[in-house]
Chain A
Amino acid sequence: MRARDNFNFTHTIFLLLGGVALLFIFAPLAGMFLSVNAPNLFDAATDKVVGNSIIRTLIISFAATIISALFAIPLAYILARKKFPFKGVIEAIVDLPIVIPHSAAGIAILGLISRDSALGSLASSFGLNLVGSPFAIALAMAFVSIPFLINSARDGFAAVPTRLEQAAETLGASRISTFMKISLPLAGRSVVSGLLLMFARGMSEFGAIVIVAYHPMTTPVLIFDRFNSFGLAYARPVAVIFVTVTLILFIALRIYQKKRW
């Protein structure tokens, strides 16, 4: 009742404008779901290539997120807590993957792992080719999505009062113990949000991956491949299945996150 009383004319206008934004997100997805052909959807759902690509996408994105977290979370903490020269430059570097075209990101990563690079030639000496490998996919996913984790975790750490960390120190806790027992749990919600965002962003990446590893196919690449080779009718069911799987996964993870934090 109280909320209704507070809903004034301005809020109504905002609601209408916001509704357009919401419709803009929802309408194309709803259209895609409604126009999918049932036999094609069944074929795609039972297609091993589709299933394998979804599993591959989820596993590689998950691995990329977890491994990146080992480096991203400490950086986020330093950015939240410390003042140092060129901090602004470092923050700008963190945001670079968001602003550069992802095809360009793919080219950059290709340069890092191609056979004539230091990393690529090292892998070659062990008989490995990094280009076209799950490792290349993970690198591409991590590159484009790591800013989401760093920025979210940094905001989370910044919101933890330094007083609590000082209190922990006066109670005998080491710096690492203070971080693990005080800072990280209190920033937990933001860190987990960042992990989820990174995981989601990595999973949906296409532009950078298609350059470093067309094969083995992740689902976004498979959707593109089906569209390019067979047309919309064959690409759409794969897209519908992938969107459904990711939606279920993220709703479940969000519910868990809300319960836990």
Chain B
Amino acid sequence: MVKLTDILFRADDFTLGPITVELETGGYYAVFGPSGSGKSMLLEIIAGLRIPESGKVIIDNTDYTRISARKRPVGMLFQDYALFPHMTVFENIAFPLRVSRLNDQAIKITAGALAEQFFISGLLSRSISGLSGGERQRVALARALAHEPSVLLLDEPLSALDEELREEASKTLGILKKDGQTVIHVTHNRNEVTDLATRCYKMSAGKLALID
């Protein structure tokens, strides 16, 4: 469960909030709105990459407002996927497992299972530079889920893809919904989330409103 209460964040002349919202575990929540409306900022606040001026970020009944990003039970898929270019696909997926000091055998098993889930088992030894957009997205998803986050944040996950790859990538996101993963998906394109979202919010000039 993700609960935001009276979140307020100011950056230069932009104000986000106040935002109060409660998202139940296992839901696929879509937040859409135009560029610059504060969608990515909201995700960064939940992820701990930005600290709000006031308000609380509660995940699974724990207050994470002042807790650093690395200690939050959150996975994030960045708009450009932010894959580490000096690592292979396997090393990217294994990264969160390595930093949590899992042993090599457990890393191999977990990374292998994630690769299978996202149909990238054949890519594990490949370098990031040789991957297509769709493959990158799947690697980034596998990596974001490797440390079993309570909530997965998707920042415009389909915008970096060509039209023909979007459908395939959208199906990949469907896997998350099917698995009962709590997802917050932000996008500027409402059509992208019509079939996926269990609840839709609209972000406009830093204000969040429930649509359906």
Contact = CB atoms under 8 A, between A and B. Distances in A.
Interface of A: 161, 163-164, 166-174, 177, 181-182, 185-186
A169 B70 contact: yes
A163 B72 CA distance: 17
Contacts of A168: 84, 95, 99
Contacts of A167: 76, 78, 82, 84
Interface of B: 47-49, 68-72, 74-76, 78, 80, 82, 84-86, 95-96, 99-100, 143-144, 146-147
B86 A170 contact: no
20 contacts: A163-B80, A166-B69, A167-B78, A167-B82, A167-B84, A168-B84, A168-B95, A169-B49, A170-B48, A170-B70, A170-B75, A171-B70, A171-B75, A171-B95, A171-B99, A172-B70, A172-B99, A185-B86, A186-B84, A186-B85
Contact of B86 (A174, A177, A186): A186
A181 B86 CA distance: 10
A159 to B, nearest CB: 12
Residue in A163, A169, A174, A181 whose Cβ sees the most chain B Cβ within 10 Å: A169
A177 B84 CA distance: 14
Nearest to A188: B86
A166 B32 CA distance: 23
A76 to B, nearest CB: 19
Given A163-B82, A164-B84, A166-B49, A172 B100 contact: yes
- Smallest CB-CB A-B distances: 7 pairs: A167-B82, A171-B96, A169-B69, A173-B99, A170-B76, A163-B82, A172-B99
Contact of B99 (A164, A174, A185, A186): A174
A203 B99 CA distance: 39
B74 A170 contact: yes
B49 A170 contact: yes
A182 B70 contact: no
Nearest to A173: B99
A173 B70 contact: yes
Nearest to B47: A170
Contacts of A169: 48-49, 68-70
